[in-house]
Amino acid sequence: MNDDDPSTEIRSTGLRGRPAAAVSRLLRLLPAPIRTRLLRHREVLKFLIVGGTCFLVAIVINYGLKLTVLTEKPLTALTIATLASTVVSYVLNREWAFRTRGGRERRHEAALFFAINGIAALITDIPLWIARYLLDLRVPDVSRLAQEISDFASGIVLGTLVAMVFRLWAYRKWVFPHQNVRLVRTPQPREDPRKAA
């Protein structure tokens, strides 16, 4: 591996075109030791990028529901947001972050993925439930601002972090257990049928 040219490593990420060029330019800006470490742990990095994307999806849906139709049901809003972001997560994790892993039939893999994310959704809800119902950090016991800060810190931040650690471990252990199973093939140029004859 040439530390001065990350483009050979970029090809293994599955990115093409502008995204690959942007990642390559960004990696060239980093010092060689950091670049090497990032490339060595690219699966975790991809997992974190997918997680960050799904985190934003969950926040938008959670607050969209919580501030409109589910004002009195914060756990329901968070659970719906988590489930919606899980669908996005499955597609991105399977097709990008863990695309070279596998070892299971697609239906079995999907069932395990969603079962693990069901457990992770409960893990995400636990800190919010503790803050709201055990510690009574809700209106009228505290101000609306204190309630929202508590909900964000406990449900969105703490719950998501704990569930993220669980997901990474569980995906590698059960959902995508084997490395280099679905190796990405480089497209082969098609032969002209007229030349073959």
In a domain, 115, yes or no: yes
> Per-residue pLDDT for 196 more than 80?
no
Indicate whether 46 and 10 sit together in one domain.
no
Nearest to 48 by CA among 85, 83, 112, 97: 97
In a domain, 195, yes or no: no
In a domain, 23, yes or no: yes
Indicate whether 29 and 48 sit together in one domain.
no
What is the domain count for the chain? 2
In terms of pLDDT, which residue wins out, 48 or 1? 48
In a domain, 80, yes or no: yes
pLDDT of residue 135: 93
Task: Tell me which of 29-43, 50-64, 136-150 is least confident.
Answer: 29-43
Summarize the confidence of residues 151-159 as an average pLDDT: 89
In a domain, 188, yes or no: no
In a domain, 81, yes or no: yes
Cα distance between residue 77 and residue 83, in whole Å: 10
Indicate whether 61 and 155 sit together in one domain.
yes
> Per-residue pLDDT for 131 more than 90?
yes
In terms of pLDDT, which residue wins out, 177 or 14? 177
Cα distance between residue 52 and residue 109, in whole Å: 22
Contact 104, 175 (CB under 8 A): yes
Indicate whether 64 and 22 sit together in one domain.
no
Identify the domain containing residue 11 by its residue range: 1-40
pLDDT tens digits, one per residue of 64-106:
999 999 988 888 998 899 889 989 988 888 888 787 777 677 8
Indicate whether 68 and 151 sit together in one domain.
yes
Indicate whether 60 and 96 sit together in one domain.
yes
Indicate whether 36 and 46 sit together in one domain.
no
pLDDT tens digits, one per residue of 103-113:
677 888 889 98
- Residue 89: half-sphere exposure toward Cβ, Cα within 13 Å: 27
Cα distance between residue 32 and residue 39, in whole Å: 10
Indicate whether 157 and 123 sit together in one domain.
yes
Indicate whether 151 and 167 sit together in one domain.
yes
In a domain, 194, yes or no: no
pLDDT of residue 173: 87
In a domain, 50, yes or no: yes
Indicate whether 112 and 160 sit together in one domain.
yes
Indicate whether 22 and 65 sit together in one domain.
no
Indicate whether 132 and 148 sit together in one domain.
yes
Q: Is the dihedral of CA 150, 125, 86, 174 positive or negative?
A: positive
